[in-house]
Homo-oligomer: A and B are copies of this chain.
Amino acid sequence: MAEKSPTLNGFSCPLPLAAGERILLGHGSGGKLSADLLRELILPAFGNETLLRMDDQAVVRVNGSRLAFTTDSFVVKPLFFPGGDIGTLAVNGTVNDLAMGGAQPLCLSMAFILEEGLPLETLRRVVWSCREAARAAGVEIVTGDTKVVEKGSCDGMFVNSSGIGVVPEGVKLSADQARPGDRVILSGPIGDHGIAILAQREGIEFEGALESDSAPLHELVAAMLAYAPAIRCLRDPTRGGLSSTCNEIAGQSRAGMLLEERAIGVRDAVRGACEMLGLDPLYVANEGKLVAVVDAGAAENILKAMRGHALGHEAQIIGTVTDGPPGRVLLRSRLGTTRIVDMLAGDQLPRIC
């Protein structure tokens, strides 16, 4: 194989170059195409033990401390929406990626790519949103960067936020640790963020108030970590929605998963919007929810701890890890029928975060 592998920049590359293939919107969906891109193009180049765990954050050991390190770029459109803006999303998103590793968030970076001609007031509003979101989450923004590109070369403003946190001793969460019998807990109803963005973007009005659920989840996680040894993994079901997150966990743990539709909360406004638009709430992005896979014996206690927190008071046990086919997620409907829930294919709502 080595003699046939193509070369890139003079280095041999383990994958055949697919001539003519191009980036699709779906490659940014958080679903199947994103996973393909990561597996086939990024991991072969960068692959190392830390990255290959494919968690929402890297955990690296530095002088005896376990540091969580994460990055996310935000390209949400529009920049401002009910319940937040690109700034709150960037701060909360990065805080949450750290929290999903069980880390206490410490500090963030904030890097802006700005389009020439952007009103300074727009930038100022976003910067102040970042400030208030960081204060609310108890983290400091300690470093940053600003670049400007010509009018037409980016869409208003893109934001990158990276973050560092400390993982307490005894906490070891990873998406490859789910075991048959474990319970799957969801912290609240799904789909609010995606539908709020879509409504704002398209100028659609739905019955009932629709707001992004963007929120920092690290305190909810801290409350759960009293049961740390029983927690296998935490994930926030953002791009790709609940279905993609469950598929990732099942896939990485090489286990099956059975979800109960009746236990998965969807607000009436979200359900109505999804029905009207032909969307499945299982695939719609969330920015203030988490999925926990936990030991069955501790599930009720963890659920109770979650319900004691404002961001987890609607938490539900939504399913079980099974010894079904590795990576297969099934959903039992309210009528008792069962269907396969696959990862998002393509992208139903681009630029959701």
Contact = CB atoms under 8 A, between A and B. Distances in A.
Q: How large is the interface on A (under 10, 10 to 19, 20 to 34, 35 or more residues)?
A: 35 or more
A158 B154 CA distance: 10
B125 A75 contact: no
Given A11-B132, A120-B18, A164-B67, A23 B148 contact: yes
B146 A27 contact: yes
A25 to B, nearest CB: 5
Copies of the chain in the assembly = 2
A116 B25 contact: yes
Interface string A94-119: 00000000000011011111111111
Contact of A149 (B57, B124, B155): B155
A42 interface: yes
Contacts of A166: 62-63
A337 interface: no
B48 A140 contact: yes
Nearest to A59: B142
A73 interface: yes
Interface string A120-145: 11011101111110100000111111
Nearest to A347: B148
Contacts of A111: 71-73, 160, 162
Contacts of A207: none
A160 B137 CA distance: 23
A265 interface: no
Those 7 A-B pairs whose CB atoms lie nearest each other, nearest first: A28-B148, A71-B109, A162-B162, A58-B142, A160-B160, A58-B143, A153-B155
9 contacts: A9-B125, A23-B120, A28-B146, A60-B106, A62-B67, A71-B109, A71-B111, A72-B111, A73-B112
